[in-house]
Amino acid sequence: MSKRIIGGVMASALIAGALVCGDIFASNQVMTGGSKQGKALWTDYCGMSKEVQGPVDVVLFTQSPRTAKGDPYQNYPHYVSEGSRIVSFNLKTKELKVLTNDFASAFDPCTYWDGKKFTFAGIHKKGGGCQIWEMNIDGSGIRQMTDYKGTCRSPIYYAAGSIEEGQGRIIWRDRYFEGDWKERGTVEKTGFIIFAGSPDGVMDEFHNPYAYNLFRLDTQGGHVTERITGHVLSGIEFPHLNTSIDQITYNVSSNYDPALTPDGNILFSSVQANGSRAEGKGRVLLEVDNWDGAYPRAIYGNCPDEIGGACGRSQAKITFGDRKLVYVESPYMNWGVGQLAAVSWDAPYNKTYERLTKDDGGLYRSPYPLPDDRMLVSYAERGDFGIYWFDCKNGKAGELVYNDPEWNDHQPAPVYIKYKPRWINTFTAGKNFGVTTVTYQPFDQVKVEGYPHSWGTWICFDTTLTDTKVGPYPSERAKVMKPGDVKAVRIVQGVQCVEPDASRFKAGVGSHLVGGCRSSSNSGTAFQQRRIIGYQYVEDDGSVVTSQTADTPYYIQILDDRGMAVQSGLSWAYLRPYHGRICSGCHDGSYRGRAFQNQHTKALYNWWYDDRSHYDSPFAFAYLKLDKNGIYQGVKHGEDVVVPSDVYYGGPSGTTSQPVEGLTDEKRRTVDFRRDIQPIIDAKCAGCHNANNPPDLSGGGELASVDGVAAFSRSYNSLLEAQRGKDPNLGGKYVHPSSAINSLLIWRLYEEALSQFASRENVFPIEGRVMHDKFLTQDERYLFVEWIDIGAQWDNIQGPDFYPGYHAR
């Protein structure tokens, strides 16, 4: 690469309570490319220029046996190799040293800021599963960092607070805005480790035996957080290791490959596969988040028109000079190798997309950009991966660093003194309190009991503001909606697939139904188990605000005057405890919305000035109110208020200390076909609908065998039947999963054309027509609507139950 002048300011933004702080790059930075050492200069906040990268004389990397189990890159990100090891290679002396002889397998090295130690994932020869470890750069001083019941991998260091040698003071005061500051001790000035973890026994939305999310690891037993915020980190504690971990992202599929951005965010890959999204294939997007999970936002790969489609995007990192977001673009979602692609970090759009590597028949992995603008890569032409300096000009692997033909060499981690980005001030949950690190003061209006934590709040300025086209798919709008047309939102929770009894679960058994290969014995559709967190009313200007349980994957549906979903968001969102999330609309941004025009929304105004702030948050309601004609009349509580059971209002700064009767996770409602829908069908539908008058709703709850497998009842098989010549991701003959408003079954139950997307011609025959809108009560009709809108699953009850279901013989 040629010499370039680098300048610019990384943006700072204050959104949803998360303060994103940037850094200023120096000018006159020399960019060399290739293998030649260059200079990397940085300008700090005081305008002082300093060199942030000295010589790189040593590189750590992983060596994996050249076998399917030794290097399972086709099972990405569940990359737990057998027999891998981490080695140190001196670029001058060419000396190779094995550092992890005590491990059955070790991989994913990441060096510390001062280059004196590194963290990695590994399985010790004494057992204990795949955990996070730390050791000195010479192989001494091994320390176990996690004892997690699952798989841990891809650790990186995060500079939270001042990171330097010595002790830092813990400053704390008793009350929010009350009392004197006190010193409560000292703790070493270390930061966090961010890693990806998957608990044992879970499956993702493709029924793979893993589901990764990001965790932060407090290396001082929670006291790193205490030094920053005044309270010990609450999470999963390992007292025997003096560490604590806290899950910071919540995805029903996987978030993995964390990397540090120059402005102090966490960059990672995220599999978004909610139901029929992207023709049922799902998407892998690049996303960033704060160090506590407070502010996730998509960077590239989320939108259907972005280059690459449903390909894999992994191992992303940001170059320092031209600020490119470089990643491995794989032909398949679960591959960890492919070609190198990039978009601009400052403008991550299609117009800045470029393929960095030429199509020479080789495969790339593990890009590692250095501050002086060189980049290490792992490359293989015929299956033997080696470490190379990347030739930026010619777009291919350049000068060889190391290649052992007996091993696959990958995951390079050069050893040098790293620049520590400014850590992002944010908001976190402590042992008993929420704590804002912007003011370093405890927020003690709400007490936390247990883990995961309690609740958060989100607001949408305009639920009608969207550039999503009108269409028949769930992610599209079923019809145009203006302010006042959206009556409420439904908040739907994704449930992690956990099946302790393998004989009661089978993937793909609904392949004859609309779910195809994404189906399972829980669901004949691509939508896995769901629960309804609740409903919230929408103001007549289209705005809505609600509070709900935190640390829970969810998405929202906007509802019309019949309480039917007009559009479903098919990306998984989540709230951290006591955090807020703000959106200005769906797929539109704030530039055409009220945020840009500085207009007040009714939801925000009424919530704030009606004294319904954090002291009295507008928690979601359990049900909708519908009149006898099925028209929306508002929201209502059920037998239980949809409020987390560990919440109480008040405290020294509040106005009340009365406990709130809450709804526990176990009581959160869902619609289960076997329990809720089948009895209605048996009582009021099966008498007329049979094999001679389809759909065939006869047979009760008895399981009907299809291709030798009995997983669903005859009525479920009939209702979820695919329609010949029709995209199954759109729906079937009678039911469009996640879109009751476009389903023939609901049109006939309401005897009304509910959208412009008729599922077939002659929906309402004139001759011999039977009017179905009088057979069911309004509550029964709306159960069918809810069942279809949340995915039309067969079994929506997590874990074992006594209702009919698949059982291997």
Q: List pLDDT tens digits, range 277-298.
A: 878 888 999 999 988 888 898 9
pLDDT mean over 541-555: 88
Q: What is the mean pLDDT of the chain?
A: 81
Question: What are the pLDDT digits (tens) for 572-589?
Answer: 999 887 777 888 776 554
Kindly report the backbone phi and psi dihedral angles of residue 91, in degrees, each rounded to the nearest multiple of 5, phi listed first. Answer: -65, -25
Query: SS3 sequence, 520-553?
Result: ECCECCCCCCEEEEEEEECCCCCCEEEEEECCCC
683 found inside a domain: no
395: which 2 tokens? 């777009």
Question: What are the pLDDT digits (tens) for 635-678?
Answer: 876 654 444 444 433 322 233 333 444 444 555 789 999 999 99
674 found inside a domain: no
Least confident of 8-17, 180-189, 377-386: 8-17
What is the C-alpha separation between 460 and 541, in angstroms, rounded? 11
- The DSSP symbol for 430 reads B
Q: What angle do CA 161, 43, 8 make, to 5 degrees?
A: 105
630 found inside a domain: no
Name the band, by pLDDT with cuts 50, 70 and 90, for residue 774: confident
pLDDT for res 279: 80
Establish whether the linkage from the previous residue to 765 is cis, with ω within 30° of 0: no
Please state, as a whole number, how many other Cβ atoms lie within 10 Å of the Cβ of residue 770. 11
Q: In the predicted model, is pLDDT for residue 766 greater than 70?
A: no
Q: Is 689:698 a contact under the CB 8 Å cutoff? A: yes
What is the C-alpha separation between 739 and 751, in angstroms, rounded? 17
Task: Report the share of the chain in percent with pLDDT over 70.
Answer: 79
Higher pLDDT, 3 or 434: 434
pLDDT for res 646: 41
Residue 539 Cα distances to 483, 484, 489, 618, 641, angstroms: 8, 7, 11, 13, 21
b/e burial code for range 52-72 (CB count within 10 A of at least 16 → b)? bbeebebbbbbbbbbeeebbb
- The DSSP symbol for 14 reads E
Question: What are the pLDDT digits (tens) for 694-723?
Answer: 999 999 999 999 999 999 999 999 999 998
| CATH number reported for the structural domain that contains residue 384 in this entry | 2.120.10.30
Q: In the predicted model, is pLDDT for residue 45 greater than 60?
A: no
793 found inside a domain: no
| CB-facing half-sphere around the CA of 774: CA atoms within 13 A | 2
pLDDT for res 422: 64
* Residue type at 325 in one-letter notation: L
Query: SS3 sequence, 265-329?
Result: CEEEEEEECCCCCCCCCCEEEEEEECCCCCCCEEEECCCCCCCCCCCEEEEEEECCCCCEEEEEE
9: which 2 tokens? 């300011």
Name the band, by pLDDT with cuts 50, 70 and 90, for residue 151: very high
Question: What are the pLDDT digits (tens) for 596-646?
Answer: 566 678 887 776 655 444 444 577 888 899 998 899 998 876 654 444 444
Residue (of 321, 237, 290) closest to 1 by Cα position: 321
What is the C-alpha separation between 428 and 246, in angstroms, rounded? 11
pLDDT mean over 89-94: 96
pLDDT for res 630: 92
What is the C-alpha separation between 660 and 648, in angstroms, rounded? 6
Domain range for 405 is 13-415
Please give the model's pTM, rounded to 2 decimal places: 0.89
In the sheet that 85-90 helps form, which strands lie side by side, from edge to edge? 96-98, 85-90, 58-65, 407-415
262 found inside a domain: yes
Q: Is 525:793 a contact under the CB 8 Å cutoff? A: yes
- The DSSP symbol for 668 reads -
Least confident of 139-143, 166-170, 313-317, 347-351: 166-170
522: which 2 tokens? 């829980």
pLDDT for res 590: 43
Name the band, by pLDDT with cuts 50, 70 and 90, for residue 160: confident
765 found inside a domain: no
Q: Is 797:534 a contact under the CB 8 Å cutoff? A: no
Q: In the predicted model, is pLDDT for residue 154 greater than 80?
A: yes
208 found inside a domain: yes
What is the C-alpha separation between 370 and 53, in angstroms, rounded? 8
Name the band, by pLDDT with cuts 50, 70 and 90, for residue 3: very low
pLDDT for res 530: 95
Q: Is 372:417 a contact under the CB 8 Å cutoff? A: no
Question: What are the pLDDT digits (tens) for 493-526?
Answer: 999 888 888 888 999 999 999 999 999 999 999 9
Name the band, by pLDDT with cuts 50, 70 and 90, for residue 35: low
258: which 2 tokens? 């964390």
Question: What are the pLDDT digits (tens) for 430-469?
Answer: 444 444 333 333 333 333 333 344 677 888 888 888 878 8
160 found inside a domain: yes
SS3 785: helix
pLDDT for res 583: 80
pLDDT mean over 396-413: 95
Cβ neighbours for 640, distance < 8 A, ≥ 6 positions apart:
622, 661, 662, 663, 667
Residue (of 210, 213, 186) closest to 200 by Cα position: 210
* Start-to-end Cα distance in the chain: 64
pLDDT for res 85: 97
- Report for 41-50, 239-248, 414-423, 636-645: range of highest mean pLDDT: 239-248
pLDDT for res 243: 94
Question: What are the pLDDT digits (tens) for 354-374?
Answer: 999 987 789 999 999 998 889
pLDDT for res 657: 33
- The DSSP symbol for 372 reads T
Cβ neighbours for 516, distance < 8 A, ≥ 6 positions apart:
280, 510, 526, 728
User: Number of structural domains, the chain?
Assistant: 1
Name the band, by pLDDT with cuts 50, 70 and 90, for residue 310: confident
Kindly report the backbone phi and psi dihedral angles of residue 117, in degrees, each rounded to the nearest multiple of 5, phi listed first. Answer: -150, 175
Task: Report the share of the chain in percent with pLDDT over 90.
Answer: 50
Residue (of 267, 271, 273) closest to 296 by Cα position: 267
pLDDT for res 289: 92
